[in-house]
Amino acid sequence: MAGDLIVVAGAGGFIGGHLVADLKAQGRQVRAVDIKPTSAWYQLFEDVDNVVLDLQVRENSAQACAGARTVYQLAADMGGMGFIENNKALCMLSVLINTHMLMAARDAGVNRFFFSSSACVYNAEKQSDPHVTPLRERDAYPAMPEDGYGWEKLFSERMCRHFREDFGLETRVARYHNVYGPHGTWEGGREKAPAAICRKVIHAKATGEHTIEIWGTGEQTRSFMYIDDCVHGTQAILGSDILEPINLGSSELVTINELVSIVEGIAGITLTRNYKLDAPRGVNGRNSDNTMILDRLGWEPGTKLRTGMEKTYRWIYDEYMKTHG
């Protein structure tokens, strides 16, 4: 298998960059594809086939998949809650990438195709209480996903299923729950809560302005999965016989206020909290039910939030000081 070509679409992004790094460390042959110029990729490796392509174009997807045995389809136009709530059309256009990559993988005779879905596919009515019951895979139906981004992911899950049933393309789907870690977006509007909070705390400490703005009441709950667990779980799911979409997320539930307190503890500072109640904040509660992944793989994401946030904070601190220090 070491000589078989693996394509990572979205390789210039956060998760894609870490996945390429891990595959490279295994000695695998990798083609890394992204729409961004390589100078904008979070991680770039010289001994990898790095290709800049817009995968919304069908011919480009065919070029990306040519000669591949395995495809990881992570490419999407997305970001944190502020981005996906205000750019629903852009998020839905990612369906072009998913469609063309599935067609290209089918035509290229790809053995395995992984699609990165999201917990945003889950029915919003099951996420109205901060004391949320962990979401089981069947809770995606009846369908009422996050508008825009969630619908795109849910529709693409169905495409993966039918490409497997109709064309024999072995598709695997994981529903990511809030992935975080170093080498990702931490400013500019597309960052997610862990990175945004790290940046805000670092900025407050660096400037002496000991305040922090929190979107919503801070009582909304989430679980956050460290990137190393995401990379491990992604490859394990691809290699498994799990045909239905499966949760890939931590089950360690915290409020946003508790997440802020964790980062304050790492930084050794206490801040005055200002709550922006009209800011995008998503559902009130979301957590991953890991019954299926434990049953099928005998494993679940286990990195403690404090441990992962310490590593993330250190990386964002160094990046912040490069540009603002």
**149 an active-site residue?**
yes
Question: Phi/psi at 45 (nearest 5 deg)?
Answer: -120, 130
Q: For residue range 235-256, what is the model confidence (pLDDT) as tens digits? A: 999 999 999 999 999 999 999 9
If you average pLDDT over residues 172-181, what whole number do you get?
97
Average pLDDT over residues 196-212: 96
Residue 111 has pLDDT above 90, yes or no: yes
Given a contact cutoff of 8 angstroms between Cβ atoms, the answer to whether 280 and 217 are in contact is no
pLDDT of 82 > 80? The answer is: no
Residue 3's pLDDT is 60
Query: Does position 170 have pLDDT exceeding 90, yes or no?
Result: yes
Predicted TM-score of the model (pTM): 0.94
Task: Report helix, strand or coil for 285.
Answer: strand
At 173, list the tokens.
């789907």
The dihedral sign for the CA sequence 27, 31, 33, 37: positive
CATH of 181-222+253-291+304-324, one of 3.10.20.600, 3.20.20.10, 3.40.50.720, 3.90.25.10: 3.90.25.10
Q: Is the Cβ–Cβ distance between 173 and 157 less than 8 Å?
A: yes
Domain 5-179+225-248, second-level architecture: 3-Layer(aba) Sandwich (3.40)
CA distance 318 to 322: 6
What's the pLDDT score for residue 283?
81
- Which residue, chain included where needed, has tokens 């964790």? 262
**5-179+225-248 and 181-222+253-291+304-324 in the same fold:** no
> What pLDDT is recorded for position 128?
86
Token digits of residue 134: 């962990």
How far apart are the C-alpha atoms of 43 and 13, rounded to whole Å? 8
Residues near 89 by beta carbon (within 8 Å), at least 6 away in sequence: 148
Per-residue pLDDT, 226:
98
Instruction: Name the active-site residue from 42, 72, 122, 149.
Output: 149
Q: What is the pLDDT of residue 2?
A: 47
Under the banding of pLDDT at 50, 70 and 90, the label for residue 285 is confident
Q: Could you tell me the CA-to-CA distances from 277 to 61, 189, 282, 284 in Å, in that order? A: 42, 18, 12, 13
Chain-centroid distance of CA 43 in Å reads 16
Phi then psi dihedrals of residue 291, to 5 deg: -60, -45
- Domain edges within the chain: 5-179+225-248, 181-222+253-291+304-324
Q: Which of 170-179, 202-211, 274-283, 293-302 has the lowest mean pLDDT?
A: 274-283
Supply the pLDDT for residue 1: 45
Mean pLDDT of 228-233: 98
Q: Percent of the chain at pLDDT above 90?
A: 87
Residue 300: pLDDT band (50, 70, 90) is very high
Q: How far is CA 99 from CA 57, 72, 73, 95, 110, in A?
A: 10, 14, 11, 6, 15
Which of 8-22, 128-142, 243-257, 294-308 is predicted with the least confidence, judged by mean pLDDT?
Answer: 128-142
Identify the band that residue 294 occupies on the pLDDT scale cut at 50, 70 and 90.
Answer: very high
How much is the pLDDT for 44? Answer: 97
* Average model confidence (pLDDT) across the chain: 95
Distance, CA of 85 to CA of 92 (rounded, Å): 12
